[in-house]
Chains A and B, each alone.
Chain A
């Protein structure tokens, strides 16, 4: 996992690598320890080709009764999924730090929930909808302990919340695509995290599932959760989300939807897919190749 290429030298990382701060992000005035998610100076590379450069982002602090729904928006290949995987530690970071409520993300796993893309798992796997939802509880159940009736009841309640209680015992390949997405959502609910990452939950779902997802998102917001969602449908961003993070290998703009989700920013994000950064990334990757 760790023998990735060394940190790619980029203009922004020089200061950070020269003097690592003992106090972490807390020393930086713009980083608040109350922030549910602080991303500082994160760069990610695949095969030496950087896909994310110098990502700096702080999610605004939340109150117990008013959370935050944050959309990550950007063109294909902008690194949207990679960003949330880097936050979760599922892809190695070439540089940078990710803190969740003031502590390194790696130490906050118990309060971080994740809804992966539907294609990321094998739906022929012999587990039931209830089994999959219960997996969201494994972190709290802990090593070696079995999934007892008490935990299964919790999983069932989460399934009920997305309207799938009747299908609890069904093997997951016998669910429709929308139902599968709702199973993932129920798993996130069961997990009862404080910060969630969701990778394109709205991709290819039916109307009923879209409503179920929006209901769950609003429920999360009402309970003070922060939800970071990779989102494709630009039209629904103002309706569903509070904040938006416009991404194209770097952060183009981030902030409240009203002020950030502007035509100008969108053009900067989507216009001219092959930005100068992208060209530089290709040149870096090619520099190692034989001529």
Chain B
């Protein structure tokens, strides 16, 4: 049991925290990338920084975090500059330009790694997929060890770099929130007010480059793209406010990282214990699980988001359909009344009739299948018929439509006519007539 607990502190805590910090930075910065419709820029930078890392490594001969970060940041900025230059000079769209730049720079990086393989302890696989599993904090044997400052000196560099970039990203977005908001929403106004949108763009891109590099060792350069995009896209479906969007994105990202890490580490054993399947020894990739979790969260948000989700939209559509059916029923009953025709409930959908009855707008005539309008139903029907006939008159008189062709259009428009439109359709003094000479019911006072 002690070994398990020790393993938790020496391996799982630093590795899990590294993943969470990386995700936090990506979540915060990704929200701005997604809103600026530049999510691909994260992808581009995450690939294009490879040559920067290798060159920094070749120049300094060390894998220390700082030179690698600087090299990557330079390559990241270079990517942004090249993308914009290519847009302008080759007159291609931004997305195409990103595609060209990052594939070229990535290829350059791969060549550099292969050419110098004997001197360089850099493994492309590690850059692509990360190596969360190798993070190890030997002297962190328990929570008490954190009180000892010498233990901190021994902290894994991945934890330090992702922690630093997470802190930097959160601080930058907090301090520059207003500036980033205006630059993303309206670059012209931002620049006109002295907040150079171009400068803010580069600040954001440098942060993204740093976050991407720091996250390499946690989730790898391919999966970091998932962390930049998925949480931000999920958050956008859940809120309409920028501040909650940014922090929700960060929260979703960090939670996906924690959950993904836990599932990868303890999932197979837990499933084996529950089901008896012989998979306890199977290993799941932590970075893969983290990306998969963030993808699942996005999928859930797409379906279940309270107002932008697929389910919510379907419910709203159904309700609208039901209201239109009910309103059509009322209008039809009103026309029957006008012409002294009895109305047979059987020609309408039973659910529609039930809904109208529940609202007290129709009731059955005693002992029969015939239905009629109640007083409140008649008031509503009068409003609809009025709108319908006003629209017919308007379409013919003002827009020159053929009188025999306006009924269908008016039938659609009558359901969305509000009081303001009614006033414009029937200005005082100009009482309209329906095309076939039927009276337009008066407006309710």
Contact = CB atoms under 8 A, between A and B. Distances in A.
A132 B192 contact: no
Interface stretch (A48-56, A72-80, A112-120, A252-260): A112-120
B35 A126 contact: yes
Interface in B147-197: 175-179, 181-182, 184-186, 188-195
Interface residues of B, number: 27
A89 B191 contact: yes
B407 to A, nearest CB: 26
A64 B175 CA distance: 38
A171 interface: yes
Given A121-B185, A126-B240, A171-B240, A139 B194 contact: yes
Contacts of B242: 125-127, 131
Contacts of B184: 125
A114 B189 CA distance: 7
Interface residues of A, number: 31
A244 interface: no
Contacts of A135: 181-182, 185-186, 189
Contacts of B195: 138-139, 143
A162 B346 CA distance: 52
Interface string B225-244: 00000000000100111100
A122 B185 contact: yes
A126 B192 contact: no
A138 B178 contact: yes
Contacts of B181: 127, 131, 135
A89 B187 CA distance: 12
Contact of B178 (A1, A120, A141): A141
Contacts of B47: none
A114 B187 CA distance: 12
Interface in B366-388: none
B435 to A, nearest CB: 26
B83 to A, nearest CB: 15
B198 interface: yes
Contact of A109 (B185, B192, B240, B245): B192
B115 to A, nearest CB: 34
Given A90-B191, A135-B186, A128 B241 contact: yes
Contacts of A110: 193-194
Interface string A57-89: 000000000000000000000000000010011
A138 B182 contact: yes
A22 interface: no
Interface string B183-223: 01110111111110010000000000000000000000000
A168 B175 CA distance: 25
A122 B194 CA distance: 21
A146 interface: yes
Contacts of A121: 185-186
B173 to A, nearest CB: 12
A88 B189 CA distance: 9
A144 B178 CA distance: 7
A144 B173 CA distance: 10
A147 B181 CA distance: 12
Contact of B179 (A89, A114, A143): A143
B193 A109 contact: yes
B177 A146 contact: yes
Nearest to A170: B240
A90 B185 contact: no
A126 B239 contact: yes
Given A126-B236, A146-B177, A88 B186 contact: no
Contacts of A126: 35, 236, 239-242, 245
Nearest to A191: B193
Contacts of B245: 126
B277 to A, nearest CB: 44
A151 to B, nearest CB: 10
Contacts of B35: 122, 125-126
A206 B194 CA distance: 33
B127 to A, nearest CB: 34
A125 B185 contact: yes
Contacts of A122: 35, 37, 185
A121 B186 CA distance: 6
B186 A120 contact: yes
Contact of A89 (B175, B192, B236): B192
Interface in A89-132: 89-90, 109-110, 112, 114, 116, 120-122, 125-128, 131-132
A131 to B, nearest CB: 7
A25 B193 CA distance: 24
B192 A112 contact: yes
B326 to A, nearest CB: 25
A85 B190 CA distance: 13
A125 B35 CA distance: 7
A135 B185 CA distance: 10
B193 A138 contact: yes
Contacts of A127: 181, 185, 241-242
A208 to B, nearest CB: 9
Nearest to B184: A125
Q: Which of A114, A126, A171 has the most CB of B within 10 A?
A: A126
Contacts of B198: 1
Contacts of A1: 198
A81 to B, nearest CB: 11
Given A1-B198, A109-B194, A90 B240 contact: no
Contacts of B182: 135, 138
A147 B188 contact: no
A112 B198 CA distance: 20
In the A-B complex, the 10 residue pairs with the closest CB atoms: A139-B193, A171-B240, A126-B242, A125-B185, A126-B240, A135-B182, A126-B245, A114-B192, A109-B194, A121-B186
Interface of B: 35, 37, 175-179, 181-182, 184-186, 188-195, 198, 236, 239-242, 245
15 contacts: A90-B191, A114-B192, A116-B186, A122-B35, A127-B181, A127-B185, A128-B241, A135-B186, A138-B178, A138-B182, A138-B195, A143-B179, A144-B176, A145-B178, A147-B178
